[in-house]
A and B are shown apart, each in its own frame.
Chain A
Amino acid sequence: MTDKTSDSGGEFEREPVSENALLGQSKFWGMYAGEHAAGTEFMIGPLFLSAGASLQDLLIGLLLGNILAVLTWRFLVAPIAIAKRMTLYYQLERITGGSLVKLYNFINGVLFCFLAGAMITVSASAVGIPFGIDYAVPEAMFGLGAPSFTGLVVLVGIVIAIVAAAGYSTVARFANIAAPWMIGIFAACGIVSMAQMGATDWSTISEGKWWTDAIDFVQSKDGEKSFPFWQIVVFAWLCNGAMHFGMADLSIFRFAKSRNAGWAPSIGMFLGHYMAWIAAALLLAAQIKLSQDHAANPGALAWGALGWTGILCVVIAGWTTANPTIYRAGLAFQAMIPKSSRTVMTLVAGAVATVAGAFPNLSAQLLGFVGTYGTVLGPMGAVIFVDFWLMKKFGLEDEYSTKTNQSISIPVLVAWLLPVSVGLYLIFWQGIFAAYAVVPCWIACGVIYLVLSKMTQTKVDAKGAES
């Protein structure tokens, strides 16, 4: 999206997008191609190998999961986006009231900071390679890396935060320019890694020993782990749960001329979350084969395959992801404190992200983090789904908070917090894989919202007063 039409650009934020502002399909395909071939892919790909996923499960599981993700965008998000043409935040405000949206926004902002923190870690891992600065993941979750690496994270974080505070239109343009090149670099990383492992003929490739040897090596060091087929499917499907099940991408598809724009995420899924993840995993397999080193250091992995080009790719991929993420987090914090300056709030977001980035173990937890992110924010999408498709069918009022001038909807608050609390308990105290919680929480939220609305709604007269 261009600045003029973006969520942060100030247009159509409190009104439906007008007919003459609608965009053609190519804009959406281009945007999704760039957004999902990002710095995170360098972290996520190797984690599959580290977690013990078999190659066959990875190839088929990611395929199935990504198809499910695209179908969710197309059939869950696009129809509502086209019908209402409003941002997620404005739709939520009309349903839940302004105060609840601010709470949602704040939580969104904090989670954005952790995501940006992982990207700062990724960028710093690459910047440190030419200077011989060591990136190592400590045992403790909140353990710092080497002092030189922590210093580098702070420097990278300061630069990214200052650029984000200055506004991110230049970075957005640079990200667009870099996107096709980055996709090419991901492909090149995979091809070079295969060659480095000697997997250059069909019989060696299909035998797959180069992959199983790498997994055996990791497990001999870190202990036995497994990452079964359905876990891969669910992860690929729901790692962007906040965007599709959570309806965050309503803000994007409201500009679409037709529902078919909902197919556009397929380019991001199959280039970024399929090809790039597998290529990044191959980088680690090749590093293990060549140097018996199983540290998933994005900078070192890319350096081993492509030298300076690889380093540039990791730095640019991390930077172009972290920058808009910090910018959006700043906007979310600013919405909490309306009189605050956007620049100050963006710097605050940058500071939080930098602190998070200083703990390398947090970025090593990305597989769990994105599932948790979807579990926390995804259920709000169920509120929008129920409000749009079911409220009138059950004889209830849609957009009830707007019609009754409520600042907070208790049915929505309970419907959101109750399943999310249970989901977080299961993730953090019972150890379930985070992405497994997304769909149950989403369904529970929708059902609770519907039932509580049935119990609490009163008739609204034509003037909007309750009677």
Chain B
Amino acid sequence: MSPIAKLVSLVALIVTVAPSLLYFFGVLSLDAMKWIALAGTIAWFVSTPMWMGRKQTG
């Protein structure tokens, strides 16, 4: 579970930050950028608690 959650977190972080770059280069509108960043944020806070700060078992 942990490796998958880590991968999801990484993707979520990219989805949060990358839209700002796409907006900067004129690829995305401001509104689209904001909604995609929010989706990335939600994904980050769902996936990251599954692995960060948890004691390893086994």
Q: Which residues of A contact B (CB under 8 A)?
A: 173, 176-178, 180-181, 184-185, 187-189, 191-192, 194-196, 200, 306-309, 312
A177 B48 Cβ-Cβ under 8 A:
yes
For the complex, what is the distance from the CA of A191 to the CA of B26, rounded to whole Å?
Answer: 12
Cβ contacts under 8 Å, A200 to chain B? 24-26
Cβ contacts under 8 Å, A191 to chain B? 20-21, 23-24
What's the least CB distance linking B33 to chain A, in Å? 7
A192 B52 Cβ-Cβ under 8 A:
no
Contact with B41, one of A181, A189, A192 (Cβ below 8 angstroms): A181
For the complex, what is the distance from the CA of A181 to the CA of B53, rounded to whole Å?
Answer: 15
For the complex, what is the distance from the CA of A335 to the CA of B43, rounded to whole Å?
Answer: 42
B17 A187 Cβ-Cβ under 8 A:
yes
Main secondary structure of the interface of B (DSSP, over half): helix
What's the least CB distance linking B56 to chain A, in Å? 14
Cβ contacts under 8 Å, A306 to chain B? 20, 34, 37
What's the least CB distance linking A204 to chain B, in Å? 12
Contact with A177, one of B24, B30, B34, B53 (Cβ below 8 angstroms): B53
Q: Which residues of B contact A (CB under 8 A)?
A: 13, 16-17, 19-21, 23-26, 30, 33-35, 37-38, 41, 44-45, 48-49, 52-53
A181 B13 Cβ-Cβ under 8 A:
yes
The residue on B at minimum CB distance from A308 is B38
Q: A192-B33, A306-B34, A307-B38 are in contact. Are A181 and B23 (CB under 8 A)?
A: no
Q: A185-B16, A187-B17 are in contact. Are A309 and B24 (CB under 8 A)?
A: no
B24 A195 Cβ-Cβ under 8 A:
yes
B41 A188 Cβ-Cβ under 8 A:
no
Contact with A188, one of B26, B30, B37 (Cβ below 8 angstroms): B37
For the complex, what is the distance from the CA of A195 to the CA of B20, rounded to whole Å?
Answer: 9
The residue on A at minimum CB distance from B14 is A184
For the complex, what is the distance from the CA of A308 to the CA of B16, rounded to whole Å?
Answer: 12
The residue on B at minimum CB distance from A2 is B53
What's the least CB distance linking B43 to chain A, in Å? 10
* Interface pairs (28), CB distance under 8 Å: A173-B53, A176-B52, A176-B53, A177-B45, A177-B48, A177-B49, A177-B52, A178-B45, A181-B45, A181-B48, A184-B17, A185-B16, A188-B17, A188-B19, A189-B20, A191-B20, A191-B21, A191-B23, A191-B24, A192-B20, A192-B24, A194-B24, A195-B23, A195-B24, A307-B35, A309-B16, A309-B37, A312-B41
Cβ contacts under 8 Å, B13 to chain A? 180-181, 184
A192-B24, A308-B34 known, 15 other contacts, Cβ within 8 Å: A177-B45, A178-B45, A181-B48, A188-B17, A188-B20, A188-B37, A191-B23, A191-B24, A196-B30, A200-B24, A200-B25, A200-B26, A307-B37, A308-B38, A309-B37
